């Protein structure tokens, strides 16, 4: 999408105008807690990042690192309760989404920020035709009538390269393959030309060749519409070709953020290094694959000091007592490690 149409859209919705610097999303010191019977699980502990127009940010982390919770907090689809957001700001085009009233917030979902989920089969409603589900975006947000909305749905299905879209518009989700279903999710998410698209592990449920096709499609759509794309994944391989920047998460904190190439070349956090070493490589055939020992800590009882210290080979006394802050160690490179300089030069 060009800036002119984005501005035209801004006209229609005064809450959404893209600032000069293209800053779409500004997450600042976000905290999310889950109040459970066993206590308070601190899922997100002070996460800050920004997404600009046309930029792809990959959020990387293990299961339970808080990456999906971050996405759901931005979308406003967390179940509250049990989730609570005690602190933080999520600014979309300068406006804090967290202080908006629910009705205003609802109107941002779809036209401004939208989301693709991991498992397209369970994320699509099994009892409605796929075309109907895409058309629902136009009917509910734009007030289009049934046939116009369906025409738009067909157009989108063609855009995401679903063969014979016109014939398949009335088919149900279970009648599509996994890759085609994810394309339908994508069509639904981009239907109203959102400024920010969040993809939460969009290819995890798919086989490898289909993964590549879906990533290529996302990349293409993002370039075409100049969306800010947040790509959530645990798979370093998936993001390498697509992302501009990477934010690595661990126990609800960012431990490293960097542009993609420098991070791959020289990780600045032992956790990132561990993740990179655990990717199987063809030139290391026959060797034991390096893995990060241990498990992520229980979010109800995060250890004092650096949360990664029980699993870290470099851990010193200071790591067990002092929580390292995320600091800029090189221009554009941030790491939350007491020994970041040593790690990066290693």
Q: Check residue 165 for interaction with another protein (CB under 8 A).
A: no
Report the nearest approach of another protein to the CB of residue 225 (Å). Answer: 18
Which range in 82-90, 123-131, 248-256, 296-304 contacts another protein by CB under 8 A? 123-131
Q: Check residue 117 for interaction with another protein (CB under 8 A).
A: yes
* CA atoms of 262 and 340, how far apart (whole Å): 14
Q: ∠ CA 204-98-75 to the nearest 5 degrees?
A: 20
Token duo for residue 128:
């409605």
18: left (phi over 0), alpha (psi -120 to 50) or beta: beta
Q: Phi and psi dihedrals of 273, rounded to 5? A: -60, -40
Report the nearest approach of another protein to the CB of residue 126 (Å). Answer: 6
311 with 293: CB under 8 angstroms? yes
Token duo for residue 176:
């599509």
Q: Check residue 286 for interaction with another protein (CB under 8 A).
A: no
Per CB under 8 A, the list member of 174, 282, 288, 313 interacting with another protein is 174
* Site size with another protein, rule: CB under 8 A: 27
51 with 25: CB under 8 angstroms? yes
* CA atoms of 25 and 91, how far apart (whole Å): 6
Per CB under 8 A, the list member of 114, 226, 251, 272 interacting with another protein is 114
**Sign for the pseudo-dihedral over CA of 241, 242, 248, 249:** negative
Lay out the site mask for another protein across 61-90 (x = CB under 8 A, - = otherwise).
--------------x-x-------------
Q: Check residue 3 for interaction with another protein (CB under 8 A).
A: no
Q: Which is nearer to another protein, 117 or 271 (CB)?
A: 117
Per CB under 8 A, the list member of 106, 281, 301, 327 interacting with another protein is 106
Contact footprint for another protein (CB under 8 A)? 75, 77, 106-111, 114-115, 117, 119, 122-128, 136-137, 140-141, 172, 174, 185, 188
């Amino acid at each position: 999408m060009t800036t002119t149409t984005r501005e035209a859209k801004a006209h229609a919705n005064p809450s959404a105008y893209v600032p000069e610097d293209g800053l779409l999303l500004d997450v600042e010191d976000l905290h999310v807690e889950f109040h459970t019977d066993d206590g308070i699980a601190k899922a997100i502990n002070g996460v800050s990042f920004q997404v600009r127009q046309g930029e792809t940010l990959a959020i990387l982390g293990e299961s339970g690192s808080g990456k999906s919770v971050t996405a759901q907090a931005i979308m406003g689809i967390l179940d509250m309760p049990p989730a609570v957001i005690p602190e933080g700001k999520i600014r979309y085009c300068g406006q804090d989404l967290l202080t908006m009233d629910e009705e205003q917030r609802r109107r941002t979902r779809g036209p401004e920020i939208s989301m693709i989920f991991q498992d397209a089969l369970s994320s699509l409603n099994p009892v409605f035709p796929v075309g109907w589900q895409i058309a629902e975006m136009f009917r509910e947000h734009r007030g289009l009538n049934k046939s116009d909305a369906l025409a738009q749905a067909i157009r989108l299905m063609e855009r995401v390269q679903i063969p014979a879209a016109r014939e398949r518009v009335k088919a149900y989700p279970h009648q599509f393959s996994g890759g085609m279903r994810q394309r339908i999710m994508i069509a639904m998410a981009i239907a109203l030309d959102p400024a920010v698209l969040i993809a939460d592990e969009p290819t995890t449920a798919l086989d490898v060749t289909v993964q590549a096709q879906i990533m290529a499609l996302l990349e293409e759509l993002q370039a075409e519409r100049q969306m800010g794309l947040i790509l959530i994944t645990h798979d370093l391989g998936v993001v390498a070709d697509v992302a501009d920047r990477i934010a690595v998460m661990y126990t609800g904190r960012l431990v490293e953020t960097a542009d993609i190439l420098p991070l791959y070349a020289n990780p600045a956090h032992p956790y990132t290094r561990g993740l990179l070493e655990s990717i199987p490589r063809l030139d290391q055939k026959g060797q034991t694959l390096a893995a990060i020992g241990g498990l992520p800590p229980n979010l109800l009882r995060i250890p004092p000091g650096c949360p990664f210290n029980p699993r870290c080979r470099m851990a010193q006394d200071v790591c067990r007592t002092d929580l390292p802050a995320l600091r800029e160690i090189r221009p554009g490179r941030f790491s939350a490690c007491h020994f970041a300089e040593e790690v990066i030069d290693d």
